[in-house]
Chains A and B, each alone.
Chain A
Amino acid sequence: MSDEFDGKIVLVTGAGSGIGQEAVRSFAERGALVYAADLNAKGLAATADLVASTGGTVRSAHLDVADETAVADLLARIATEAGRLDAAFNNAGITGSTHLLEDYPTEDFDRVLRVNLRSIFLAMKYELRLMKPAGSGTIVNTASVAALTGPGGMSAYAASKHGVHGLTRVAAMENASHNIRINALAPGWTETPMVAANSAQNPAFAELARKAIPAKRGAHPKEIAAAAVWLSSSQASYVFGQMIVVDGGMTIGGFEP
């Protein structure tokens, strides 16, 4: 049976690790030609190896997603090589350092906003220029449960992710009549290599974090990637301008009586 992603052109950023890597794998397994973008060359190579082992097609793009020229160049490359872009999963992001707001280093704040928010703005800016003339496309932006909450010490991260939600909604509204479907994804605690490394260093904190989640565990990156792929598919055709929460119940409430 033919898969709807067969022969589709897909871009995934933050493709060198965790959620992005799993999304690349899944899109490629379903027959898409995937452009995998990341700042981490080693991670990109690992992603390419992973895909090669399953017979999929991936093209790596080593770049800083917050660098406008680099992003514009990548989309120009996709236009030249593939002629179109069917789906984009803008997923690169960083957590940043943890400080009280009054102590938050301004350069750290700027860096987090740059990598998490400016990158999504730039990605959509150039993706839309490819999708609009084609009259179709889907975009999924990775926000976070921090787009809904106020995690202490993480002012830059929370502000950037609230921003991703806002950008997503504006972009969705602006492109409604162009058959471009844009949504956001809000993962909860996800055990990506980065989080796993932190947890190994601070097992007590990891234990607490897992306990605070109604599902009593973090997500496997695959579980988040599955939602991204689903949102990019025609199976989500009426889901528009939304943020889908995939958090094991973390933001429901859940205070013990």
Chain B
Amino acid sequence: MTTIATEVNEVEGKVALVTGAASGIGRAIAELLHARGAKVVAEDIDPAVTELARDGLVTLVADITAEGTAEKAVALALGSFGRLDILVNNAGRILYKNLVDMSREDWNWQMETNVTGAFLHSREAAKAMMPNRSGSIVNIASYASYFAFPGIAAYTASKGALAQLTRTQALEAIEHGIRVNAIGVGDVVTNLLNHFRDDGREFLAEHGRKAPIGRAADPVEIAEIVAFLASERASFIVGSVVMADGGMSVPIG
């Protein structure tokens, strides 16, 4: 049989940088890309990320928003594996507060974490990819990039900004052969809410039952979309936001 681009090892030899890789979706992405043959730099503010270290996977404990982190992460990819092919901007947090209770610090923190970190990493990664005239950047956006929910104004604004960052960078980067896309993620059972509620995982699982598909996603289902978008199979997908929300947005708009 002819070899087709759906080969499991299609990211073999590629080098990927994944932020927020200690937990949840980011961890699943780092593990899947590594299992499919990619070399991976796994970055997180949480030192637990170092547990992922193995042959072909190095870790970086750093705050994506801190000055110099993006430069350091890209240098680590180049230093460890000689190049950078894939960037996944996944690190993110969620702030639950009604607008009238939100401080300027709250707002800035949410924007820094969910948009500024991605901007800095995308800028540095694109610079490293441009000489190769190839590369793929995947941003983990949300159905909250387009739809609104009470109590998370800063989060929806930050994810909306991430979607627009995706689309605009896509136009600039495709000139250099680099594709930029995003995933509009729905409810995924992770630790995302654990910082303000102990039953975060149960809450996400329960909330996901409202999706037409009837369940929240497993992180690996999002990781598979990243693997697709980063591969040659997606060679004409440029500036798309692939919604993966189990249909949550379909009855809304």
Among B43-80, those with CB < 8 Å from A are none
Identify which of A173, A229, A245, A247 contacts B250 (C-beta below 8 A).
A173
A242 to B251: give the CA distance in the assembly, Å. 11
Q: Which residue of A lies closest to B217 (CB)?
A: A238
B2 part of interface (Cβ distance < 8 Å): yes
Q: B157-178 toward A: CB 8 Å interface, digit per residue (1/0)?
A: 0000000000110110011000
A214-B214 in contact (CB<8A): no
Determine if A30 and B186 form an interchain contact, defined as CB atoms under 8 angstroms apart: no
Complex Cα spacing A207 to B234, Å: 23
Of the listed stretches A72-80, A103-111, A248-256, chain B binds A248-256
Query: Is A17 on the interface with B (CB-CB < 8 A)?
Result: no
> Does B13 belong to the interface (CB within 8 Å)?
no
Residue interface mask A159-186, B partner, CB < 8 A = 1: 0000000000100110011000100000
Q: Are A26 and B221 in contact (CB under 8 A)?
A: no
Q: B215 — nearest CB in chain A belongs to which residue?
A: A238
Q: Is the beta-carbon distance between A176 and B247 smaller than 8 angstroms?
A: yes
CA A235 to CA B5, docked complex, whole Å: 14
Q: Which residue of B lies closest to A181 (CB)?
A: B213
Asked if A241 and B247 sit within 8 Å, CB to CB, the answer is yes
In whole angstroms, what is the CA distance A247 to B179 when docked? 12
Closest chain B residue to A3, Cβ basis: B6
Give a binary string over B218-253; 1 marks a CB under 8 Å from any A CB, 0 the rest.
000110110110000111111110111111011100
Whether the pair B4, A29 counts as a contact (CB closer than 8 A) is yes
Tell me which residues across on chain A come within 8 A of B1, comparing CB atoms: 29, 54-55
A249 contacts B174, C-beta separation under 8 Å: yes
Q: Give which listed residue, A173, A219, A236, A245, contacts B212 with CB less than 8 A.
A: A173
- Is A244's CB within 8 Å of the partner chain B? yes
Are A237 and B221 within 8 A (Cβ)?
yes
CB atoms of A30 and B214 under 8 A apart: no
The answer to whether B221 touches A169 (Cβ under 8 A) is no
Contact with A along B117-144 (1 / 0, CB 8 A): 0000000000000000000000000000
Secondary structure at the B interface, as helix, strand, loop or mixed, is: loop
Q: Does A10 contact B (CB under 8 A)?
A: no
**Chain A CB within 8 A of B148 CB:** no
On whether A241 and B212 interact (CB within 8 A), knowing A54-B1, A173-B247, the answer reads yes
Q: Is A246 an interface residue (CB 8 A)?
A: yes
Query: For residue A236, which residues in chain B have a CB less than 8 angstroms away from its CB?
Result: 224-225, 228, 244
The docked-state distance in angstroms from the alpha carbon of A240 to that of B143 is: 13
A224 adjacent to chain B (CB < 8 Å): yes
Q: Verify B236–A215 contact, CB threshold 8 A.
A: yes
Whether the Cβ atoms of B239 and A214 lie closer than 8 Å is: yes
Q: Which residues of A contact B171 (CB under 8 A)?
A: 214, 249, 252-254
Q: Report the minimum CB–CB distance from A8 to chain B (whole Å).
A: 14
Q: Which residues of B have CB within 8 Å of A247?
A: 236, 238, 240
CB-nearest residue of chain A to B174: A214
Contact status A54-B2, CB under 8 Å: yes
Q: Would A246 and B236 be within 8 Å (CB), given that A26-B4, A238-B222, A240-B250 are in contact?
A: yes
Any chain A CB within 8 A of the CB of B35?
no
Interface residues in A125-182 (C-beta closer than 8 Å to B): 169, 172-173, 176-177, 181
For B99, list chain A residues within 8 Å (CB): none
Known contacts being A54-B1, A238-B217, A240-B250, is A245 close to B240, with CB within 8 Å? yes
Q: Check if A188 sits within 8 Å of B247, measured CB to CB.
A: no
Cα separation A229 to B174 with both chains bound (whole Å): 24
**Chain A residue with the shortest CB-CB distance to B177:** A215
Asked whether, in the complex, the Cβ of A235 is within 8 Å of the Cβ of B225, the reply is yes
- 10 pairs, A vs B, C-beta closer than 8 Å: A1-B8, A29-B1, A172-B247, A172-B250, A227-B233, A235-B225, A238-B213, A238-B225, A240-B212, A242-B243
Closest 10 CB pairs of A and B: A176-B212, A249-B238, A241-B250, A240-B247, A252-B239, A223-B236, A241-B247, A235-B224, A226-B233, A219-B236
Q: Which residues of A contact B (CB under 8 A)?
A: 1, 3, 26, 29-30, 54-55, 169, 172-173, 176-177, 181, 188, 214-216, 219-220, 223-224, 226-227, 229-230, 235-242, 244-249, 252-254
